[in-house]
Every structure is written in C-alpha cells, then in structure tokens.
Structure 1
Amino acid sequence: MPVGSISVIVPCFNGLPDLDVQLAALAAQDYHGDFEVIISDNGSTDGLREHLEQLESPLDLRWIDSSDVRGTPHARNAGIEAARGDFLVFTDQDDAVYPNWLTALARAAETYDAVGGPIEVRTLNSPEVATWRVVPAPDDRFETTYLPYAHGNNFGMWRHVVDHVGMFDEGFLGGGEDTDMSWRIQEAGLTLGHVPDAMVAYRLRTTARAAFEQGVGYGAAACDVLRKHRPYGAELPSVRAMLLFGYGLVIRNPLLPKSLSPLPTGMWALSAGTLRGTVSRRLRHLLDERRLSRRAQGR
C-alpha cells in the first residue's frame, strides 16, 4: 500500500534541550512527501510549549497535551488520537533520526503492516559511554526468547494496525510497551518488517547509577511483558537462567583486573539493574500466583 499522509509522534517529558537535536534531524529528512510532527507533552515543566511556540522550524509541528495520564505509552496513544496521518511513526525526544529515516520506513511500509529499524550509540554519546551498550547490527532485528520486536524510538505502523490490535498498553510505565505492541501485532497475524536503512542515533544514560536504574526498569518490564504473553507461548525466565546471568556479572565485575575482561562500568551497571528488576518482579509474580491459587482452593 503506498504511503500517503504520515504523522511522526514524539512523546516528550522535560526533553529540552535534547529535543531540539531531534527536531533538527526531523527537519533534515530527505522524504519528498508531507508529514506532520506531533510533540505529545506528558507534563513537562521545562517550558516546552513556550519553547515550541517561539521555535523557527520548517516542520509541520504540533504540540498536544497528554499530561492527564503519566507515562510514555499514554503520550504515544494521545499522539495517535491526534494524528492526521494514515501511517503512524514513533521516535523519542532525546535521539536523532538519520536523514533517510522516514523515506526508508515509508518505503518498507508499502510491504508490511508495521516496521522498525536499527539504532546506533556512537553519534550522541561519548566514546566511553558508547561502550556501555551492545546493539544489533543494522541488518539484524531485535530478538528475544519469544518474538522479535521494534524499538520504540524507531517504529511505524499503519492506522489499521491500531484498529486491529489496540493502542499501546498504558500499564507498562517502565518500558516494554514497544515489545508488547510488536508481539501483539505478530500474534494477530500481521507483519512486522525490519528496515536496516532506517537508522536512529540512540542517546544513552551517562552515569552508572542512571544505567542501573534504567536496567531495573528494563528487567521488571521484560517480566511483565513475558507474563502477559505467556498464554501465547512466551516463557518467563527460569531460576537457572537468572543464576547464570548473576554468575556472569560476578566474574565480569569492572572492579576486577583488566586481564579478566571485565565489562565496562555502565554496561555492568545496566546488566546488574536488569537482573535486580527481573528477580524482584519474578518473585512478585510467583507470590501473586500463589495467592490466586490459595483463593481458588478456598483457603
């Protein structure tokens, strides 16, 4: 299906000044058709609306208020409701899309119901911080133990996909809504394509503490998504898998001598946070299941 009108939706919360980098990247797109950019303001207190009103930009730029419910999924959903386009594209406030990004996604959308693309961590991060995250090669999809997914800052879908599978799940406040949406699309029999040319520069957390806290959210969200999709074949992490992951962190602690090939500090912190988030959420799931079982047995 040829792409007609496009809406680029950017959820935003206190995103200045990084948002200006993203807006400049969107203004530099080589896409020949028309597209609008919707800034979905999820309760910013940094003067975002006033900044946008004073900003000189060639973009067809709109600000909308999505502060009634906190969270990125709601901000994305509010953008969907406000969008005029038939093809809905999502990226984030603190990243930067490549010049051919929208062209590549739109071209692929002629074949697929939904599409995603790769990310890279070199452009927006220092050389040290760039070592903190390993990302798939551009040709490779984001794989999981269940189904592949499209990264939330590099994702597009036709409006009929929303009509078929619903909007982003607003219960995923710590992340995971992109994985959930990707899996729902595939479970419904729709197609999710990967577009190697649609690159996005991804901005990482710049301190070990921030990386750790992000990892906690990642681990918890991953468990929640797997639990939601368990009826369709997704499997929750086993105790053995968590123990092996923890053992790997112990023997690759960045405080160990370099001869033992320790992980970069930020990568280790992210992984440690992910393990903590996974274990704590997995334990909560087990306790919830035990309570439900006891209630079912009348105890």
Structure 2
Amino acid sequence: MPPPRYDRRVAPDTSPDSARVPAVSVIIPAYNAARTIARQLDALTRQHVDVDWEVIVCDNGSTDATSRTAQSWADRLPLRVIDASARRGPSAARNAGADAARAPLLAFCDADDAVTDDWLSGLLPVLGAHPFVVTAARVESAYSTPDRRLYDVVTTLRMPFLPELPFGSSSHLAVSAEAFTRVGRFDETLRTGEDVDLSWRLQLAGYAVTECREAIIDHSRRAGFFATVRQFRGYQHGRRALQHRYAHVIDAFTAARGAPPGADGDWEAGVVSADQSERSDRPASRRERIAMYLRDRDERRQFLLRATRSTRLALATSLGLFLGRVTGRIDTTQPQVPASLARAYLERERPFERGSR
C-alpha cells in the first residue's frame, strides 16, 4: 500500500506505520508570523508526493499567535510545532528545526512566502541525487502594479568579490542532513548573510550547488519603505562580515584568477543572478517600454505607478545600503576561513580551466 498523499482531501496518517522515517523535513523558522504563516501552510497542503514527509515550524519566541495558528494546521499536514526560543534569530530557529528533523533531507522555506503546488515533487528527485540544491524563487518585479503583475525568477546568486561560488537564499534551499551537519550548520553569529556563508562552506567542502528550476517558491518582498531600508541595511552588514571572514579565500581565488573579479559595487549592483533571470514578458529597451506605456490613458497610469514604485524601491535600497556602510561594524575577533580550503577547492574543481560555473 503506497504512503498517503498529503493534500486538501487526505489527513495525515495516524496509524502505527506513521512513525517510519520521512523522506524529507520541511523546516520553517517563524517569529511573530501569525499573519503570514497560514499562506505557506495552505500552500504545503497542496503538495502531491508519494513519500512520507514532515513539516517543522520553529517558533523563535513569538509574542503573537504563531504557534497556535501553525498548530491549527496539524489535521491537514504532517506537522509539528517546536519551541525554538532558546537561541534567537532565524539561523538558530533553522538549526533547531534541523535538530528536530527525522528525515535525511532538509528543505528550508520561510513563513512569509508560499511554495507552488509542485514544489516538493519537483525538488525531491533532484535533492535525492544531489546533496545541495537551490530552488527557484519567483519575485514580484518593481515594475508590477495592482492591475498588472510582473515577476522575475531567480535561483542562485553571486557576490562580486567571490563570483566563482554561487549561493542560495535560505528561503529556498535544500540540503542533505549529513552535509548540513558536516559543514557546521547555519552560523548563528551572523545576523544576515548566513545563507551565503552556508552555501560557500558547502562548496568548499566539496558539495557542488545544483539548481532546481522545477521547484518554485513565491517570495514576498518586504512591505513598506522603512522595512526595505532595514532589510538592505542588514544585507550590507552581512556583506561586510563575509568579506572579512572570507578574506583569505577571496585572495586565493583572486590569485588563481589572475585578476580582480571586477567592480566591488553596492549590494544591488553586485549581487547578480548566476544565470539570466527569467523575466516577465515586456519590451526590452527603455524606449520601447515608454512608447508602450504612453499609448493610452491606462498605459500612462500603469507607467506612472511603476515609475513611482520603482523609484521608492531604489531609494529605500540605496538608503539601506548607505546606512549599512556607515553603521556596520566588523567583529575582527571572529575566525577567518583559511586559504587552505580555497586552495583545495581550486585544485579539485579547477574552475578557471573551464570558466566559472
């Protein structure tokens, strides 16, 4: 008899056989997520997979109804809610979820996003064959308006100062429990950039990143001007910390490359998609876009809405990055990654003999 399929019509298996080890643990860190987590859990009820799996919601000390809201989905999902408040921060919550996980495969997603219906069925075959997988994130474009939604789809990203090592966001990456434990899990001392750090440590340890475009999550942008400022200020703090931590690795790659990696610009300019993003269908050139938007009243209104939103987003991003540069402090007591790991990677992978991946 095949294992149960978890969707809207079938409740979790409560028979004694349900104690068997699940194939994958879906880990969701949550802090004061009562208003958003239902969307993610509802999306998870629509997964169709013929294996046992589990969902672990890691409540990181919420003061709202996060735990109660998540627990209310236990009759529709193979779900557990754990107390992950002993150590604060999303990295600590994810690590607590990994500690509680029973599966050999770990898939991380966020409480304010939503997986698509075939996310898990698209991910599992790839994750079963590759220990480190970055799935796709569909992000609403700054050009969107309420009347016309536009999206970009991205998988891995790259830092300008270490472009040979792509990374994945913690909101849409998956890893084998063995690899995750071997490299030391998420670093809880990093407030931001912990997903970049984990991605780099995995690759330096020999776990190549594999992209899975068949598994998609709908990523939610931070709402509001000041929330975006805070987000990008944190990104800049994380970037500075990573540049210090990986200084010897960066030097080793620069020496092997024979030239600097390129302009070390701001976060938005420097963090780029490892492959071309799949962009929404719109005219390629600015002149073509303006001509289209000015054809009639509706197009003019759409144009003005997009311009206003894009300008606000750009301003919030720039302000956040500036504040991050001004207020960021590097803890020089933190250990740096030794150059020997970079040299071992370069000897093993020889990226400059075939071009950067």
Pair 1:149 & 2:171 matched: no
Q: State the distance in 2 between where 1:224 and 1:37 align.
A: 32
Distance 2:104 2:323 in 1: 40
Kept after mapping to 2: 8 A contact 1:14/1:45: yes
TM-score by length of 2: 0.66
The answer on 1:219 being equivalent to 2:236 is yes
Which residue in 1 is equivalent to 2:349?
Answer: none
Give 1:52 deviation, angstroms: 3.3
Match status 1:198 vs 2:215 = yes
Q: Count the aligned residue pairs.
A: 265
Give how far 1:215 is off.
0.7
In 1, distance between residues paired with 2:22 and 2:267? Answer: 49
CA positional deviation for 1:126: 10
Paired residues for 1:136-175 under 5 Å: 137-138=153-154, 141-145=156-160, 146=162, 147-173=165-191, 175=192
How far did residue 41 of structure 1 move?
A: 0.4
Change (3 A) 1:86 1:130: farther
Q: Return the offset for 1:143.
A: 2.0
1:46-78 deviations in Å (ceiling 9; x for gaps): 122233344464211101111111100000000
- The 2-side partners of 1:165 and 1:214 are apart by 27
Deviation above 4 Å: which 4+ runs of structure 1? 128-131, 234-238, 240-246
Preserved CA contact (<8 Å) 1:31 1:103: yes
Q: 1:190-225: per-residue Cα shift (whole Å, max 9, x none)?
A: 121111111110111121111111110011011112
Q: Distance in 1 between matches of 2:147 and 2:223?
A: 9
- Which of 111, 115, 118 in structure 1 is aligned with 2:136? 118
Determine the C-alpha separation between the residues in 1 that align with 2:217 and 2:244: 29
Distance 2:173 2:311 in 1: 29
Closer, same or farther in 2 for the Cα pair 1:194/1:244, shift >3 Å?
Answer: closer
Aligned with residue 30 of structure 1, among 45, 48, 51: 48
TM-score for both structures, normalised by structure 1: 0.78
Within 5 Å, give how 1:277-296 maps onto structure 2: 277-281=324-328, 284-285=329-330
Matched-pair identity in %: 30
Aligned partners of 2:267, 2:181: CA distance in 1, in Å? 41
Whether the aligned pair in 2 keeps the contact of 1:6 and 1:89 (CA below 8 Å) is yes
2:77 corresponds in structure 1 to 59
* Structure 1 residue 267, shift from structure 2 partner: 3.0
Does the Cα contact within 8 Å between 1:73 and 1:168 map onto a contact in 2?
Answer: yes
Q: Could you report, residue by residue, the CA deviation over 1:154-212 in whole angstroms, capped at 9, with x for unpaired residues?
A: 11100110232011000112x21111100000011112111111111011112111111
Per-residue deviation, 1:20? 0.2
Q: Residue 25 of structure 1 contacts residue 99 of structure 1 at CA under 8 Å; is this kept in 2?
A: yes
Question: In the alignment, which residue of structure 2 is the partner of 1:15?
Answer: 33
- Secondary structure in structure 2 of the residue aligned to 1:110: helix
Does structure 1 residue 275 correspond to structure 2 residue 322? yes
Cα 1:92–1:221 change in 2 (3 A) is same
Distance 1:16 1:288 in 2: 38
* 1-structure distance, mates of 2:235, 2:268: 15
The structure in which a higher percent of residues are strand is: 2
| Matched AA of 1:168 | F
For 1:271 and 1:197, locate their aligned partners in 2 and report how far apart those are by CA, in whole Å.
33
Identify if the C-alpha distance between structure 1 residues 66 and 4 changes in structure 2 by more than 3 Å, giving closer, same or farther: closer
1:41 and 1:243 map into 2 onto residues whose CA distance is 33
Residue 336 of structure 2: aligned partner:
none
Residue of structure 2 in register with 1:229 after alignment: 246
- 3-state SS in 1 of match to 2:92: helix
Q: By how many angstroms is 1:40 displaced? A: 0.4
| CA contact 1:9–1:38 (8 Å) conserved in 2 | yes
State the shift of 1:19 in Å: 0.2
**Structure ID, larger Rg:** 2
The answer on 1:79 being equivalent to 2:72 is no
The question of 1:209 aligning with 2:209 is answered: no
Give the SS at the match of 1:199.
strand
Distance change (3 Å), C-alpha of 1:244 and 1:144:
closer
For the residues of structure 1 that align with 2:147 and 2:31, how far apart are their CA atoms?
24
Asked whether the 8 Å contact 2:40–2:111 carries over to 1, the reply is: yes
Aligned-residue CA RMSD (Å): 3.4
